[in-house]
Structures are given as structure tokens and as C-alpha cells.
Amino acid sequence: MKNYERVNTVPQADIKNKKAYLVGGGIGSLASAAFLIRDGHMPAKNIHILEESNVFGGSMDGAGNAEEGYIARGGRELESRMECLYDLFGFIPSLTSPDRTVLDEFRELNIAEPIKSHCRLVENKGQKADFSTLGLELEDIISLNKLVLAHDDEIGAATCEQWFKPHFFETNFWYFWRSMFAFENWHSVLEVKRYMVRFMHLIGGMNQLDGILHTEYNQYDSLILPLITWLKKQGVVMELGVQVIDMDIKITEDEKTVERIYIKRKGHEEVIETTENDLVFVTNGSMTENSTLGDTHTPALLNRNQKERGCWSLWENIAKQSPDFGHPEVFAGDIDKTKWLSFTVTITDNTSVFDHLLDLTGDEPGMGGVVTIKDSSWLMSWVTPKQPHFINQPENVQVMWAYGLFPDKVGDFVNKKMSDCTGAELFTELLYHMGLGDKVDEILPSCKVIPCMMPYITSQFMPRKKGDRPEVIPNGCTNLAFLGQFAEIPNDCVFTVEYSVRSAIMAVYGLLKLDKEVPPVYEGQYDVRVLLNAVKTMLGNREISIDRMIGKLLFNTGIIK
């Protein structure tokens, strides 16, 4: 957004009489409430956030304590071109310094403690693997180039394994890619294209995570908590334990209008009557719906319940009323292709693991990012975040996080499927691959390990076609908008916080018809410097002429034969 577009909006004449109902308490709804207040000038008391669970924040979670163990199901990677995200946190006050913003403190942290990994890959029980290049051959580069240049309709519902040759999946590029974004071979190659285009400016630093940013604490404490604190202070009505079951949507030839919302509050069914003057925002689908937790001695059991799955069930009910509302079964119809397992480790009065990892990687906690184990049957990766990772974390406690993409495979040290393992068994397998297999009996007594099985964690990457995700404001909708990872936003990437916040701005500005531009998606692919740096990196950082770079980039694309 140019500074010329950074205008203060004019309140609508009837804004004080409007009400807004936001279904789901994740970042999409929270951001929508914030923009309704700042740009829509809606009275905060007229904004109602309805969340089924007992905590706000959705997938951006963080909970627990030192005695029972901490838990964070995952974390979103951040970078400097997330314009909607930083627009939001540029006006949310810091919890520690109310005269400063969350963005102020976030930027200062990353200037003082930038991520630059010195160990992205390990193998052979704790040995560094070569991560100096992406390991791409010319055939792989040509396939990537064709993908970037292909039209979305041409790609359609093709999968990664249908687009790329087998060698591609053995390259460092793919190890880096899938450990950062959790892609599987059977996922949508169209989403790979979007990532390639959207984050082309980061490809040059991909092997060291150069350009990736981090928060002071877990993302709940660092981002969600300041946001909900501000919203509550403004007077937003925020309700927990309220399940939205269905909606009546009046559909005519030209318009679609939500007329009532069916909810269940404290076990009792109720109806919220709405008018075309009110606004309804729905988070349709969730990557962490029906997640289950285990503990140090108990596995996290997979929840396959197809009838009771929160926002997925709501989306199914809404989608029955019009094809414009998308097709949830495309994303949530095959749990075995969308699930994986993560686990959070809480270590008390024992620094041996972190000491070992500092020697192995050369990276202080929080400054190295994700490390992937190339020869892990579970394809595990781990992160040692900045400590403390939780606001209430004692000094004698350290917290780390890990996950595996292949939960149905048997371990290399622990002879069980990952999905059947207790927290202790999961950490045992990880210690083996870190080179600490002989120290397991010394380390485990000081640890609490909480596994989390997530049936839909990569559902947003499932192969899809146009129309499977509804538009943020579907055709003809007068008072309904969709938020989050399963709404269609041209050119941006799912599995990012930015995507959800962008959907919030689009929904608020669109439904209120505000005279203000949504911050555009960064388009580094049109910067020749970004293009040439990306090509140079893919070619192994060889010093070659610009003419040869462009020739390699365009070879066999129809532009150059």
C-alpha cells in the first residue's frame, strides 16, 4: 500500500446500528474485530466473537506449565513482507510497554537476534548434512520454472508427485521446503507455485532461513494475548463455549443474506436473528480441529469423528445451500493425507540437550530455526526457540518443539509407528537422531513430553480446483464473509498468519464498502534482482553471466526452446 492510500476512513451513517457476529476465535476473527473498530468505526460492544473451545487464538496456541508440561501445537513462520499482519500489530499495544506496539518490539527483537541457521539438516545420528546448496539439477529447475509460469487453470488439481520427477524429492530443496511448510508429495502443486512466487525473495536464504523472523515467546503469548487484551479493553463481546451449528441464508437470484444463526450455548440451542444490516464472518475449516493430546506416558489418539468436527461441520451445512460456498470435503475428506503429529518437550533442571544442540548446530536458541533429520523414517524436524518460550516459564526450564510428517511409519530406534508412541517414546527417537541415544535414560526423567495428533493440519494443501474454496465475500453476499485458510485469496499463501489477517481486511473493507485499499500482496517476482538471485541460488550459487541466468530460467518454456 502506498502512503497515498493510508487514509482514515469515514464512518458509515448507520454504523452504530450494525452488529457483527464473528464465528470462531482464531486470528481471522480477532483481526476482523480489530479492523471493524479501527477502519469500520463500529462500536466494540456491537462486535460478538463466538468461539466453541475454552480459549481464543485458534491454531496460534500456547499453554501449560512447568509442572505438567507446556504445549504448542505448532508455529507459523514469519517474514518482513507480511503487510496485513504488520498493519494489524502496528496499532496493537505491547503488553509490557503500552506506549509501544507489538510491531515495534517484534522488529527490535529480529534486528537484535536475527535467525541464520548454521545447521539445517542432520543425518547419521547427529551428524551435520550438507546444506550448502539446494541440490537441484537442470531438470528440476525447468520443472519449477514451468510451474511458476503456468496458469492456475493449467495446473488444476495436480499433485507434487505428478508434476516433478522422482529426483526432485531427494533434493535439499525439497527437504528445506517440506520442513518449513509441511508439504507432502501428494499435496497440491498449485500451492507450491503460490509459495514459489510469493516468497521468491527468500529463496536465496532458504538453506539458512535467512529472512525468517521470530517472536519473543510462543505466538499465543506474543501475538494473540496482546490482541485479545486490546479487544476486551475496547469492549468487544468475546464468548467462549459457544458452538455455531448452522445458518439460514436467504438466497435469491442476485443476493445471499444470512437471516439467522443457530448456536449451542452451555448445552442449550439458541437462535440469533440477523438482518441484512448486520455482518456475519465465518472461519470455515480449521487445520487444528479435533486435535488430541497425549502425555509422557500416553499416545495422542487420532480423532476420526466425521459427524462432530466443529467448524468443518458448520462449513458443510453452509455449503449445502450454494456451490458458491465451496466444497469442504475436498480438504477434510481424507484424514490420512492431512494428519501429522507434533510434540512439545519441557525439560527441568537439565541443560544437557540444549548444550548438545548448541555444539551440534552452532545456533543459540531462537536464532537457528527448524532442523530436519534427513534419514528419519518419521521425517522429524525440531526447533529450539528463544528461551523462555512461555511468559510463565521458570529459569530452570527449557522448552523445545518437534514434529514428524510420516506418523504411520515405524521409527528407526523406537520400533513403533509414530502415531502409537507415547511422549517419552517420541522424544527417545528424537534423541537418537540427535546423537544422544546413549543418554536417553539420563535425560527422560527430567522431561515432560506432550504429543498432539492433528487430523487436518495440512488439509489446506490438498489438491483443489477453482471454486473449492469460497471467495472471501462470495458472489451476491450482502452480509456474509469467510475468513482464514479455506477462503480464496488470489496470489497469497495458506498456512500463514498473513493469509488469515488478509482475509479479515478483505472481509471488513468489502462488506462495509470502505474507501480504503487492502495492502497488496508483495510481488517480488517482478523485481529482476529477486529473479536473478533466485535463479543463481537454484543453480548452486555459481557465478554465471546474466544472459546465461535468463537463458536457464526460460529454457524450454516456449519463450526459449
Positions of E strands within 1-158: 20-23, 47-51, 63-65, 69-71, 78-79, 121-123, 127-128
C-alpha cell at 155: 495446473
Name residue 269's amino acid. Answer: E
Cα 246 versus chain centre, distance: 26
Contacts for 179 with CB less than 8 Å, ≥ 6 apart: 370, 372, 381
CA distance 72 to 64: 9
DSSP class of residue 221 equals I
CA distance 240 to 250: 28
DSSP class of residue 220 equals I
CA distance 406 to 376: 9
The one catalytic residue among 70, 86, 175, 195: 195
Q: Residue 69: beta bridge partners?
A: 65
3-class SS of residue 532: helix
Catalytic-residue membership of 77: yes
The one catalytic residue among 21, 51, 52, 77: 77
Catalytic-residue membership of 509: no
Contacts for 359 with CB less than 8 Å, ≥ 6 apart: none
- 462 CB burial (10 A radius; 0-12, 13-18, 19+): buried
CA distance 177 to 379: 13
Q: Could you tell me if 516 and 509 are in contact, meaning their C-beta atoms sit under 8 angstroms apart? A: yes
Phi, psi of 136 (to 5 degrees): -85, 140
Q: What share of the chain is helix, strand, coil (3-state, %, to 5)?
A: 35, 20, 45
Catalytic positions are 77, 195
